[in-house]
Amino acid sequence: MASTTFLLELGVEELPPAAIDSLSDALARGIADGLREAEVSFDDVQAYATPRRLAVHVTQLADKQPDREVERRGPALAAAFNDGKPTKAAEGFARSCGVGVDELIHLETDKGTWLGYRELQRGEATEQLLPDIVSKAIAALPVPKNMRWGASRIEFSRPVHWLVMLYGDRVVEAEILGLTAGRTTYGHRFHAPSAIELGHVDDYLTTLEEAYVLADRDRRRERIREQVLAEAECQEALAVIDEELLTEVSGLVEWPVALTGSFDERFLEVPPECLISSMKANQKYFHLLDDEGRLKPLFITVSNIESHNPQLVIEGNEKVIRPRLADAAFFYDTDRKTPLDSRRKGLASVVFQQQLGTLADKASRSAVVACHIAEQIGGDVTHAERAAQLAKCDLVTEMVLEFPELQGIMGCYYARHDGEAEDVAQALYEQYLPRFAGDTIPQSRTGLALALADRLDTLVGIFGIGQRPTGTKDPFALRRAAIGVLNIMIKGELDLDLRELLELAAAQHKDLPKAKGLVDDVLDYMLERFRAWTQDEDIPVEVYLAVRARPVTKPLDFARRIRAVHAFSQREEAAALAAANKRVSNILAKQEHDGSTGVAADLLREDAERALASALASQRAEVEPLIRSARYTEALDILAGLREPVDRFFDDVMVVVDDLEVRRNRLALLASLQALFLEVADIAELQQ
């Protein structure tokens, strides 16, 4: 079976840069899935894309489907013949197969014998299958919003202008989106606007590059990175390359050319975050830092043309950025004229959530919880209350209304300008930490208290109105809030009881429709986040289940137990002791033991049970102080020494004996063994 390379290119007007990668990947995935469904073999599928084209390149694509032997089953043998002569049923089946009755075969099944027919079904040519496969892949693209153009009723993300479908050097005959497939493509809109005839699929990338188009997304992205770094080096500066911005810029150009521009140094009086946000959000510029990490009055723009007069392009960009930065400076100056404290009354008109009240209500609730947390972790209660009152005030400033990503950042700047305590100002920024996986947690006690209080208020409030997250919807980012609380408590080593804090947070809300069982519901949801946390730490889920089986409500304590149990699970003794604990659990449940752990020494008849009782007493004395001080790893290391007496007990001792007193005593001994391990976790879960 022969194979060659296939190319699809859909030429469009400029696509939204944020959608290019998702559309490109979805198109490649759709074509690959279509080929697999048609059982056409291929080696690799590569997605290419620029603002003006979506392309898919398939290597080693077979020229046809494989031939298949098809088996058809007809009437049962008993109904196919009457006195040795074929019935109408047999003759009709033979005609449908295009053969005579004598060419049919007998098919033996577990339900009897049937007439049948086997034929070789020739595979269809790939070129005949491709139009339908491509059409379905395009129709299934996740286009956020379709549009029409001209008098046509055809819809797509942007108007389409050309369609290339080549199998090797041959055009695949097809009509898609109102376009007839051909071999004509187009290069750069300005540098190479004329039509280009592709001779062979393998010429695609080089032909376009000669026409000032880098169709390979990854190569274009890396070309931009290299150019930006080179420009920064020329300026003796450090370029800050945000990966999201890099991807977006790559989606705006086909032939990137990085250029460095400058702006007036007076704008550096504005907080650098404001200038950076303006440059990134509005102009898609990369900013530069000096050796000490301070913003330089320079920017790097990526042009889509190789100008004969690059200075003209630079001056044009400098002219555009000037009023943008002037706006940022104006917002900053205007906002500082009104202290944050004076903006508190404005929060009363900003709804947090219809059933949960305004931002002012949220601030009041959070203040109570923040004060309680601050007291418990050794923070300043007065500062925690003040930070909670001011936490959301920057949301009504001009700067944050223009650049929402600066919330918290501007609150910190404005609080410092107003003369607030430094840890209060710092807390206004830290309340949103951690913002993503791996991000830092608040460093100040006030920031820790505020960050926890704000998230806990949101969690109990949204759960309390019955809007807990579903598999696909989490509009209030409750998963992130829950994980944030856990990370803060664990990384900050805060020995706080989550149930107690949730009860306090829930008490600040009035008339929640789902108040019954609310704290238990939120607590279970939050502790369940440890399942993902253990996966991120490469810890087996059985370890999480072992700890989850215990009523542990302090996240820091939960994490310490998980790490201790994970270390214990690596020991040679772990499997045997986990199996023994599982056996103990089954025995106690089957015998309906009352939970008593009191062991009578005079009822210990066998050497093995006396040895186990002695070992338990000895190790309990060593282990209990360690458990009280949360030194779980050391405690489990000691308990690992119980393997030998436990194994010996089960080898030599019959638990369920006729003597009821002896039986109860042995059950109490096993319950004592189980209870000692349960002080840390239910290690029986490790057997899973």
Instruction: Write out pLDDT tens, residues 217-228.
Output: 999 999 999 999
Beta pairing class for 257-262 and 195-197? unpaired
Q: Which of 434, 446, 452 is nearest to 496 (CA)?
A: 452
pLDDT value at residue 474: 87
For the residues of 526-569, what is the DSSP string, one character each?
A: HHHHHHHHHHHTT--HHHHHHHHTS----HHHHHHHHHHHHHHH
| pLDDT tens digits, 250-283 | 999 999 999 999 999 999 999 999 999 999 988 9
DSSP letter at 50?
A: E
pLDDT value at residue 290: 95
How wide is the angle at C-alpha 184 spanned by C-alphas 180 and 186, nearest 5°?
A: 120
Q: What is the number of other CB atoms lying within 10 angstroms of the CB of residue 663?
A: 17
pLDDT value at residue 688: 62
pLDDT over 80 at 88, yes or no = yes
Q: Is the dihedral of CA 384, 386, 392, 395 positive or negative?
A: negative
- Tokens 């949960």 found at: 356
Fold of 561-687: Isoleucyl-tRNA Synthetase; Domain 1 (1.10.730)
Q: How far apart are CA 312 and CA 503, in angstroms?
A: 64
Q: What percent of the chain has pLDDT over 90?
A: 65
Contacts 24+ apart (CB under 8 A), 75-78: 75/114, 75/115, 76/112, 76/113, 76/114, 76/115, 77/106, 77/112, 77/113, 77/114, 77/115, 78/112
Q: What is the number of other CB atoms lying within 10 angstroms of the CB of residue 345?
A: 11
| pLDDT tens digits, 608-634 | 888 888 888 888 888 889 989 999 889
Q: Which of 253, 210, 261 is nearest to 235 (CA)?
A: 261
* Whole-number Cα distances in Å, 277 to 3, 30, 253, 285, 436: 51, 37, 21, 10, 19
pLDDT value at residue 329: 95
Q: Is the dihedral of CA 290, 274, 388, 492 positive or negative?
A: negative
Q: What is the number of other CB atoms lying within 10 angstroms of the CB of residue 33?
A: 15
**Total count of residues recorded for the chain:** 688
pLDDT value at residue 463: 95
Classify domain 351-536 by CATH architecture: Orthogonal Bundle (1.10)
Kind and range of the H or E element at 352?
strand 351-353
Average pLDDT over residues 35-50: 94
Least confident of 118-127, 306-315, 352-361: 118-127
| pLDDT tens digits, 50-72 | 999 999 999 999 988 888 777 78
pLDDT value at residue 438: 85
> Euclidean distance between the first and final Cα of the chain, in Å?
49
Q: What is the number of other CB atoms lying within 10 angstroms of the CB of residue 236?
A: 10
Q: How far apart are CA 31 and CA 46, in angstroms?
A: 10
pLDDT over 90 at 532, yes or no = no
Average pLDDT over residues 484-496: 95
Q: What percent of the chain has pLDDT over 70?
A: 100
Where do the structural domains in the chain lie, given as residue ranges?
3-65+125-210, 69-119, 217-336, 351-536, 561-687
Tally of helices (H runs) and strands (E runs) in the chain:
25, 20
Classify domain 3-65+125-210 by CATH architecture: 2-Layer Sandwich (3.30)
Q: Which of 609, 583, 582 is nearest to 663 (CA)?
A: 609
Q: How far apart are CA 412 and CA 391, in angstroms?
A: 9
Phi, psi (rounded to 5 degrees) for 379: -95, 180
pLDDT over 80 at 206, yes or no = yes
Q: How far apart are CA 527 and CA 85, in angstroms?
A: 75
Average pLDDT over residues 566-572: 87
- Tokens 């990854």 found at: 218
pLDDT over 70 at 525, yes or no = yes
pLDDT value at residue 1: 58
pLDDT over 70 at 81, yes or no = yes
pLDDT over 90 at 605, yes or no = no
Least confident of 3-7, 388-392, 395-399: 3-7
Q: How far apart are CA 73 and CA 57, in angstroms?
A: 41
pLDDT over 90 at 288, yes or no = yes
Q: How far apart are CA 76 and CA 31, in angstroms?
A: 42
Q: What is the number of other CB atoms lying within 10 angstroms of the CB of residue 451?
A: 29
Q: How far apart are CA 339 and CA 322, in angstroms?
A: 28
Average pLDDT over residues 362-385: 97
Mean pLDDT (the chain, rounded): 91
pLDDT value at residue 367: 97
pLDDT value at residue 233: 96
pLDDT over 80 at 408, yes or no = yes
174: burial class by Cβ within 10 Å (0-12, 13-18, 19+)?
A: buried
Q: What is the number of other CB atoms lying within 10 angstroms of the CB of residue 80?
A: 22
Q: How far apart are CA 393 and CA 477, in angstroms?
A: 21
pTM: 0.80
* Whole-number Cα distances in Å, 199 to 9, 204, 611: 14, 9, 87
